[in-house]
Amino acid sequence: MLQVNLSKLFLFIFVFSLSISAQNLTEAHQKIQNAVGNRDYQTAIDQLQNLEKSDKKNFTPNNYDYLLARMAEKRDDFALAATNYQAVANRNSVLSEYALWHLSQIARASGNLMLERIYLQKILTLAPESLLSDAVKMRMARSYFESKNFDVAIQLLIDQQSAIGSRQNTTNNEQRTTNIAQNREIQVLLGEAYLQNNQIPQARQVFTKLTNNLPNPAQPDDFALAGAKNLDLLDGGKENFGKNAPQLADTEHYRRALIYQFNRNFPLARLHFQAIVERFSTSNYVAAALYQIGRGYAQEGNFAQAIGWFERVQAEFPDDLIARDALSQTASAYARVNKSKEAISRYQKFIQTYSDADNLERAYLNIVDVLRDTGEDFEALKWTAKTQADFKGKLPESLALFAQARIHISRNDWTNALSDLNILLMFPDLGGTRVPGGTNKAEITFLKGFALENLKRYNEAIDTYLLIPDGRSEYYGWRATEKLEALANDEQTRRFITKKIGELTTNIEVRNAEAQRKAAQAVLRLTDAAEIRSKMLAIVRKSYPQLPDYQKIPSGKLLEFGRKEILKEKRDSANENYHKTLADELLFLGLYDEGTPELEISQQSTVNSYQNDGQNNPKSKIQNPKSNDLAYTLAVFYKRGEMANRAVAYIEPLWRNVPADYQLELIPREQIELLYPMPYADSLLKLAPEKNVDPRFILAIMRQESRFRAEVKSNAAARGLMQFISTTANQIASELGREDFKQDELYNPPTAILFGSQYLSNLFKQFPNQPAAVAASYNGGENNMMRWLARAESDNPDRYVPEIIYSQSKDYVYKVMANYRVYQMFYDEKLKSNSR
């Protein structure tokens, strides 16, 4: 009997100890995950190493050594990383292909290309269906190329081209676009391999194809640029490259020149344009070549040189349509070199000569700007009046009246400014962002409130500011709220705010839901008193479910993926879904950057169902709740994995149906983080503070510039996350001492963030404590911003933002500053969440 009881006791102790062990392991796993999620890599390393020492038997079955390697790599401890990646690969873990990929990158960074290829070949042998396969094959070819084994590189590239071509008709539009880009990247390397292998005809054929067959002829890509450069080398030789254009037909000169010009390589573009002018005097391309040379100089900021080329177009081709543009550009260039009389005379000539031009009003309004730049406000007002008279009943009339209002504001003539603004509010078309110098109802309403405030008509100013909706994307709604808060905090004007709050809250409980919402949201703009705000937020929160428009906020359930149990022994995954197995393992470790693509491919049928039904179709979401929840889950996981572009691409279309004034504090936190993610936090926190730049401002810029797409190139040939054009990038590279800088490096996120931090630091030194001016400069150029500031005669953004003539730049300021407001509201300077 005693023996039986002892056996039961020992069994109980054994089971209890197992339970304690499992509990301890679960707690350890949670602590590790918290450290990983908080980007506290050293703590994660310490905890993983402690776990390895204390529980070795459970360490490897759960692939914690792979996680340890990833964390070590984050800390630049490549020896520790390589040791653990090798351990993962040696035991043939399910994560071996990823461990081998990281080992290949470490080998490459150390210069050991042979070892890199060994690891890459193991991936292709071990996991032919790997999501890494395209990158592995491309890297294998590059490795052979860099090792000067061109025959093997050529064969690998041809095979890869063939593989991509075979799947071109079996993929969706997005994948086809990706395939085209991959194919063109392969062609560049293939052409260069042929060239290095002295297979000149084959090289020429590839490079010619790159320059002739453009996916978008209006926007020659980086691969077309590489093709043009290599063709120039073939046709002119290394000794002449960049010095003399090769002997070509005029059509080929023009083709290559346009590729260079679009990609902002103006010196090489000029060589080809000048070759047309000098060698083909009767060519149909001569007029355009002369004009483009002038445009190139103007885009470089060399307006004095540009003038001569524009005037030559007018002298030699007066009847050509391009002479009209050349005259306008000549006037603009004279204005830039401070020759106002010459500029005005050219604009006047334009008005007289091209009275039927579509953009005739720009000549009038540019004269206004030139006169303002020289301090001749009264003459400028005469031209605003003339423009209104000559364009009565047309859009230019409102543009001229807006210019007139801005002059009155700059002169603190608030009475006349208010009169102009009241008239403007009656115009049906204010131009918006369609035309230079345009405006919108929100801007005019704000300026009216601003004028009323300066005239000390505070009750009217408050009512006017409240007319402008405030929300996450509403620049002037935000500015109006800032004005209202300032009035509330000013002892002289506080009583007007108190009175307004009283009016809004009287009998608020008995009003209908919409009236309650409007009144409560207005009060929230007028006070920071905690008790009042709490009460008003409660009213708004209660009213939204009763208002159909405010029920349109997207919803999604976060599905559970990734294994939940902690393994006690290695499992047999031979019969499981290959990509699902990888996803489960990577997501269990919290490695969303690698796990989410595996999850998406494993769930492809459901993803396709969601995409085919249409992301913006509410009915489809009701009919397909599973696919809707999966799409939401993928967006959250991609955000966690620093692929924020996928998160924003998912959530933004869904929020377009939500009213613009949806109360910011009531937007669900998880949706704020999808709308305003913070990818590349490690690089931001390392690089931005060194340059005294708020990382949240960089995120605000990045969100607008690229929507967090690292590989994107704009229609102005701006590259990467921060969208640098080549001239600015070269300037920043020089400041940073990057002598061997290549433009393609801008597609690397840390490089883009470093360059962005440096450039923004420069701009903040020029415009201290003026983020709106910095944003305008980033988009429209600092010289232009200096002109707009001078016209405003103030460093107050409420006075200088309306002066931004470039419609794209003004809209850019609206969006960047709205982004920055939200980032400041929900994240601190360390990119930690603010509790709200």
What stretches of 490-624 show up as alpha helix (H) in DSSP? 494-505, 513-524, 530-543, 578-588, 592-602, 604-613, 618-623
pLDDT at 274: 98
What confidence tier does 349 reach under pLDDT thresholds 50, 70, 90?
very high
What is the distance of C-alpha 99 from the center of its chain?
Answer: 31
87: alpha, beta or left, given left = phi > 0 and alpha = psi -120 to 50?
alpha
Q: What is the mean pLDDT of residues 185-208?
A: 97
722: part of which helix (H) or strand (E)?
A: none
Q: What is the mean pLDDT of residues 196-215?
A: 97
Q: Specify whether the CB–CB gap between 319 and 332 falls below 8 A.
A: no
Distance, in Å, from the CA atom of 163 to the CA atom of 138, rounded to the nearest integer, reads 12
pLDDT at 613: 46
pLDDT at residue 540 tops 50: yes
| Distance separating the N- and C-terminal Cα atoms of the chain | 64
pLDDT at 369: 98
Residue-wise pLDDT for 121-163, tens only, equals: 999 999 999 999 999 999 999 999 999 999 999 999 999 999 8
Distance, in Å, from the CA atom of 563 to the CA atom of 182, rounded to the nearest integer, reads 34
**DSSP state, residue 744:** G
pLDDT at 181: 87
* CB-CB neighbours of 233 under 10 Å: 17
Task: Report the half-sphere exposure of 23 (CA within 13 A, side-chain side).
Answer: 6
pLDDT at 166: 81
Residue-wise pLDDT for 51-103, tens only, equals: 999 988 899 999 999 999 999 999 999 999 999 999 999 999 999 999 999 99
Give the SS3 label for residue 439.
strand
**DSSP state, residue 412:** T
- More confident of the two residues 658 and 563: 658
Q: Specify whether the CB–CB gap between 71 and 85 falls below 8 A.
A: no
* Residue 713 identity (one-letter amino acid): K
Distance, in Å, from the CA atom of 229 to the CA atom of 223, rounded to the nearest integer, reads 10
Burial letters for 189-217: b for 16+ Cβ neighbours within 10 Å, e otherwise?
A: bbbbbbbebebeeebbebbbebbeebeee
Q: Residue 261 to residues 87, 142, 181, 630: CA-CA distances in angstroms? A: 51, 29, 21, 44
* Range with the poorest average pLDDT among 157-161, 553-557, 620-624, 713-717: 620-624
Percent above pLDDT 90 for the chain: 86
Q: What is the mean pLDDT of residues 548-559?
A: 92
Farthest CA pair distance, the chain: 118
pLDDT at 634: 97
State the chain's mean pLDDT as an integer.
92
Please tell me which of 154-168, 196-210, 570-584 the model is most confident about, judged by mean pLDDT: 196-210
Residue-wise pLDDT for 327-343, tens only, equals: 999 999 999 999 999 99
507: alpha, beta or left, given left = phi > 0 and alpha = psi -120 to 50?
left
Q: What is the mean pLDDT of residues 367-386?
A: 98
Strand partners, 833: 827
Q: Specify whether the CB–CB gap between 585 and 658 falls below 8 A.
A: no
Residue-wise pLDDT for 451-466, tens only, equals: 999 999 999 999 999 9
Residue-wise pLDDT for 415-444, tens only, equals: 999 999 999 999 999 999 999 999 999 999
Distance, in Å, from the CA atom of 2 to the CA atom of 803, rounded to the nearest integer, reads 95
Q: Specify whether the CB–CB gap between 776 and 699 falls below 8 A.
A: no
pLDDT at residue 757 tops 50: yes
pLDDT at 186: 96
109-118 contacts, C-beta under 8 A, 24 or more apart: 109/78, 113/143, 113/146, 113/147, 114/147, 116/143, 117/143, 117/144
Give the SS3 label for residue 768.
coil
Residue-wise pLDDT for 159-191, tens only, equals: 999 988 887 666 677 778 888 889 999 999 999
What stretches of 656-725 show up as alpha helix (H) in DSSP? 669-675, 681-687, 695-706
* Residue 24 identity (one-letter amino acid): N
Token code pair at residue 653: 């279309």
pLDDT at 718: 85
Token code pair at residue 590: 């919290």
pLDDT at 17: 44
pLDDT at residue 20 tops 50: no
Residue-wise pLDDT for 224-255, tens only, equals: 999 999 999 999 998 889 899 999 999 999 99
The burial of 100, by beta-carbon neighbours within 10 Å (0-12 exposed, 13-18 middle, 19 or more buried), is given as buried
